[in-house]
Structure 1
């Protein structure tokens, strides 16, 4: 019997994927992606690739790995670490949640949505605020392009490095188009639109090459990045590896996936080869289990979180709440598929 095909309405969130379609297969996401046009449906493809089968552990792991690289540049470390007073340090749990919630909202709604535009407006205003204290730190267009290029290509690159199949051609095209759309919403310190200063790479492959080249630049040693990164690792370990005996493995689970240049820049030691092998095997096994064994989730993690909030079993996301309230005020007749969180 042919599977029922119900396309997502234009402008709808990823949560609007047909439940009739979902019920037809345990591994429905790959089949759904195969039906879509990446040049038109790139937002849905990115959402299906990013926010359905992801877990809170995955989000925290990726946050820790990604943000550990902020200290590759002295200005990046200064703006994030702030002499030990930065939110990543003194408000660690909330900062982690806020960052992940931004990424999830963008993925759920897409670059053209008023929800995403409102969320990124918050980020731009934060950058303007901190640029007054750390002049020049938010003026480097290549830092933004690196982050967005890495975001588009990181999972594919990681899977290939673990000997696993990477993303399909449709996922690559969709990821590139999605992050090009996100980049167009950001401004640099001068107030100029980021992509007017420096365009995004033209293809997925060029994004991957850009991210690699950036991380392999001969950046000068930056010891301020080490204590900053140690704090991020400590936060991850306290959340997911409370047993002291597992801490060395938990630490290797982060540092194994650092850009090689980071150890020189920070003056940090690489993990023991045995721990590296364990970490790579662990991540590889998680991908295999998620992609080939377990049933695909029927709703994105954003909706799972909202459902827990509605049941009183979780705290509402500050970002989700703030953004949807603002969008609701700006568009009293609609504009967002979710009920406003009070």
Structure 2
């Protein structure tokens, strides 16, 4: 693969989304990504995923969940799984292992539920939201978002990812009950239609989103700038989400600063800085191998399971962490 200052766009231009959708999704999502953007995407996206009060009831569990007690672990684990699917592609064994871990987690906490973890339409909504979130956030910042080729690759990848998910309540495949949209525009419409439903106000949603905003602010900003950190999340929540979860709209100054900061960050990464030659996940693995960062627990677990499945380390996934912990 050729390299240069703006090599990612040139490489995507040479690819066919009908055949090369895995690589296009990797390039679109994983190379210009960094930990700040990954955390921001989770903080701004997960409240939308929980606009249905039944969903945030499951995630918050009256303040007794991982989300409530260990928000950093929740962010790391959720992003660890999601980014693994985008890295390996929908048909790789690592993706199957990861999604099975998620299915088992859902089954453990979803017993007896009649919505949320038992609602196939909600599963498809959350997958479409995850698939389109980066595009939507870029559009809100005034950028073009995904190109038509990137949109087609995204739809193809996620339609196949969706085939691995099972309902928490009875273990049946989600797509046995509801179809996956056949276009990127269809995915966007499904997300918008779900958000526009007349959802009631949610105390669990308020608690969850408030904590996500606070965790993001405290992770990335000094105390005097915590209001700005919170605004970088709440400014990008759809108005419907802010209504349901009773999240105040930031004042004009904070909204302007939040949009300006994120717009500058995206402009720098896509127009000024050279394209990274190593993906975000591989950069993290290299830092962990050099003892300069903690490894992703999800990444290590997936690749341990993959190594056992393949009968050892020989021929293992090229994305496997360059370290081995007993």
For residues 320 and 302 of structure 2, the distance between their equivalents in structure 1, rounded to whole angstroms, comes to 12
After TM superposition, the score normalised by the length of structure 1 is 0.90
The equivalent residue for 1:337 is 318
Q: Give SS of 2:214's match.
A: helix
Instruction: Decide which moves more: 39-48 or 133-142.
Output: 133-142
Q: What does residue range 171-320 of structure 1 map to in structure 2 within 5 Å?
A: 171-189=150-168, 190-241=170-221, 243-320=222-299
Alignment counterpart, residue 85 of structure 1, candidates 64, 70, 75: 64
The answer (yes or no) to whether the contact 1:71–1:222 under 8 Å persists in 2 is no
Q: What does residue range 121-136 of structure 1 map to in structure 2 within 5 Å?
A: 121-132=100-111, 134=113, 136=115
Q: Give SS of 1:205's match.
A: helix
The equivalent residue for 1:76 is 55
The answer (yes or no) to whether the contact 1:160–1:166 under 8 Å persists in 2 is yes
Alignment counterpart, residue 139 of structure 2, candidates 148, 160, 166: 160
Q: CA deviation at 1:204?
A: 0.3
Instruction: Decide which moves more: 80-89 or 313-322.
Output: 313-322
For residues 26 and 154 of structure 2, the distance between their equivalents in structure 1, rounded to whole angstroms, comes to 10
For residues 212 and 252 of structure 2, the distance between their equivalents in structure 1, rounded to whole angstroms, comes to 22
For residues 225 and 159 of structure 1, the distance between their equivalents in structure 2, rounded to whole angstroms, comes to 25
The equivalent residue for 2:44 is 65
Alignment counterpart, residue 144 of structure 1, candidates 123, 135, 144: 123
| Cα distance per residue 1:197-224 (max 9 Å; x no partner) | 1111110011111111111111111122
Alignment counterpart, residue 117 of structure 1, candidates 96, 115, 126: 96
Instruction: Decide which moves more: 152-161 or 252-261.
Output: 152-161
Q: Give SS of 2:164's match.
A: coil
After TM superposition, the score normalised by the length of structure 2 is 0.94
For residues 137 and 65 of structure 2, the distance between their equivalents in structure 1, rounded to whole angstroms, comes to 29
Paired residues, number: 320
The equivalent residue for 1:5 is none
| Cα distance per residue 1:236-265 (max 9 Å; x no partner) | 111001x22211111111001111112221
The equivalent residue for 1:45 is 24
Against the structure 1 CA distance between its residues 229 and 133, is the aligned structure 2 distance closer, same or farther, given a 3 Å change threshold? Answer: farther
Instruction: Decide which moves more: 191-200 or 33-42.
Output: 191-200
Q: CA deviation at 1:160?
A: 2.4
For residues 45 and 10 of structure 2, the distance between their equivalents in structure 1, rounded to whole angstroms, comes to 30
Against the structure 1 CA distance between its residues 137 and 100, is the aligned structure 2 distance closer, same or farther, given a 3 Å change threshold? Answer: same
For residues 271 and 145 of structure 2, the distance between their equivalents in structure 1, rounded to whole angstroms, comes to 13
The answer (yes or no) to whether the contact 2:282–2:319 under 8 Å persists in 1 is no
Q: Which runs of 5+ in 1 are unaligned?
A: 1-17
Q: Which runs of 5+ in 2 are unaligned?
A: none
The answer (yes or no) to whether the contact 1:110–1:178 under 8 Å persists in 2 is yes
The answer (yes or no) to whether the contact 1:78–1:134 under 8 Å persists in 2 is no
Alignment counterpart, residue 80 of structure 2, candidates 91, 97, 101: 101
Q: CA deviation at 1:87?
A: 0.4
Q: Over aligned residue pairs, what C-alpha RMSD do you find?
A: 1.5
Q: CA deviation at 1:32?
A: 0.3
Q: CA deviation at 1:70?
A: 4.0
Q: Find runs of 4+ consecutive structure 1 residues off by over 6 angstroms.
A: none
For residues 151 and 98 of structure 1, the distance between their equivalents in structure 2, rounded to whole angstroms, comes to 15
The answer (yes or no) to whether the contact 1:106–1:116 under 8 Å persists in 2 is yes
For residues 62 and 250 of structure 2, the distance between their equivalents in structure 1, rounded to whole angstroms, comes to 27
| Cα distance per residue 1:9-57 (max 9 Å; x no partner) | xxxxxxxxx3xx12xx111000000000001100100000111111100
Q: Give SS of 1:184's match.
A: helix
